[in-house]
């Protein structure tokens, strides 16, 4: 991005035309939708209503972190607590594409409700280029249905996407220009922890992956802070579907396995698995199996690049 100022000026201009009345902005707290929301409020002020949905699939402390981020950006927003609706929608669903479709449907219903409340018919999203490229369309094969693009169910709302031609590094340049804090914040998928739990989603399985994920984030952040590691692009935990044998005391127990994934990337189109120091992996493994004692008995590290693997497991 050579000219973030020029991009912002033309995006704001276009949004003034595209948002003639009240609009909802789907704000996840991620960098893309935060920038989209900042641009929309710059363009039309209070007519742009940023809506943050607590799906129940958020990371530890996320609601508070996002509220703090929005405050720092001067973004006014509405928090919609919808955990029970999302868990209900996913009951018994194991297929990742079906999970994304159902989550997409729940999001859209919540946004439609909010739009009805403010009397608007526009929905602003922070979709960026890799989202729609990987969701298929035109001659491209569908790699996966991103919940915010290919997975979007029919809606009467008109979708407005001010960032759809940008790649992640360009969004970050715009964020820096706009003074949005922490532009190095790692990407987090819209469907959240639901796609970091392989197979069926339950409150307990989400709790387990949330605890494991918080440990991965804390330990990697600590190592980055101590200068032992450059800040990776993404670092997270995945709860596997298969059960595995472990020992606690004298007993053999069946428990879960957690995969730790730490990748370097510039635009998420390709990625390299990072060579995390063995001592750090050991610390992460010890903490996960201790803090989820009896529930998680095995920790694995994913050494696969993208391609052939994707960054997420689902």
Residues 195-234 that bind ligand XMP (CB under 6 A): 234
Residues 253-272 that bind ligand XMP (CB under 6 A): 268
Question: Could you count the other beta carbons within 10 Å of the beta carbon of residue 184?
Answer: 12
Phi-psi category of residue 218: left, alpha or beta, with phi > 0 → left and psi -120 to 50 → alpha: alpha
150 binds ligand XMP (CB under 6 A): no
50 upstream amide cis, omega within 30 of 0: no
- CB nearer to ligand XMP: pick between 133 and 241: 133
- CB nearer to ligand XMP: pick between 22 and 59: 59
187 binds ligand XMP (CB under 6 A): yes
Binder among 29, 189, 246, 255 for ligand XMP (CB under 6 A): 189
Alpha-carbon distance 312 to 196, whole Å?
7
Closest C-alpha to 54, from 206, 209, 262: 206
304 binds ligand XMP (CB under 6 A): no
Which H or E run includes 257? strand 251-264
Closest separation in Å from C-beta 194 to ligand XMP: 10
Binder among 59, 99, 102, 146 for ligand XMP (CB under 6 A): 146
Q: Are residues 233 and 264 in contact, defined by beta-carbon separation less than 8 angstroms? A: yes
183 binds ligand XMP (CB under 6 A): no
Closest separation in Å from C-beta 24 to ligand XMP: 17
Closest separation in Å from C-beta 171 to ligand XMP: 12
Binder among 18, 62, 114, 134 for ligand XMP (CB under 6 A): 134
Torsion of CA 94, 97, 98, 100, to 10 degrees: 110
Closest separation in Å from C-beta 254 to ligand XMP: 29
Which pairing describes strands 251-264 and 234-248: parallel, antiparallel, or unpaired? antiparallel
For residue 258, the cross-strand partners are 239, 299
User: Which stretches of the chain bind ligand XMP, using CB under 6 A?
Assistant: 100, 134, 144, 146-148, 187, 189-191, 234, 268, 306, 310-312
């Amino acid at each position: 991005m050579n000219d973030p100022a020029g991009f912002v000026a033309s995006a704001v201009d276009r949004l003034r035309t595209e948002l003639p009345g009240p609009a909802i902005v789907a704000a996840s707290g991620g960098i893309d939708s935060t920038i989209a929301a900042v641009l929309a409020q710059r363009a039309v002020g209070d007519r742009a209503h940023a809506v943050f949905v607590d799906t129940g699939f958020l990371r530890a402390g996320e609601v508070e972190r996002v509220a703090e981020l929005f405050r720092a950006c001067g973004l006014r927003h509405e928090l919609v607590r919808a955990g029970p609706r999302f868990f209900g929608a996913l009951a018994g669903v194991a297929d990742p594409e079906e999970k994304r479709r159902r989550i997409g449907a729940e999001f859209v219903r919540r946004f439609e409700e909010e739009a009805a409340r403010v009397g608007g018919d526009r929905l602003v999203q922070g979709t960026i280029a890799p989202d729609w490229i990987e969701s298929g369309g035109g001659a491209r094969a569908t790699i996966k249905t991103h919940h915010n693009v290919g997975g979007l169910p029919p809606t009467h709302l008109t979708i407005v996407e001010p960032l759809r031609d940008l790649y992640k590094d360009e969004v970050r340049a715009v964020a820096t220009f706009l003074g949005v804090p922490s532009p190095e914040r790692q990407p987090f998928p819209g469907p959240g922890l639901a796609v970091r739990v392989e197979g069926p989603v339950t409150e307990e399985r989400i709790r387990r992956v949330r605890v494991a994920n918080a440990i991965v984030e804390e330990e990697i952040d600590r190592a980055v802070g101590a200068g032992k590691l450059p800040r990776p692009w993404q670092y997270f935990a995945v709860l596997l579907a298969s059960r595995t044998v472990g020992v606690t005391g004298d007993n053999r127990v069946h428990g879960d396995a957690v995969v730790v994934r730490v990748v370097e990337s510039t635009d998420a189109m390709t990625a390299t698995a990072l060579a995390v120091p063995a001592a750090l992996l050991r610390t992460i493994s010890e903490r996960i199996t201790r803090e989820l004692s009896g529930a998680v008995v095995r920790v694995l590290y994913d050494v696969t690049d993208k391609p052939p693997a994707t960054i997420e497991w689902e």
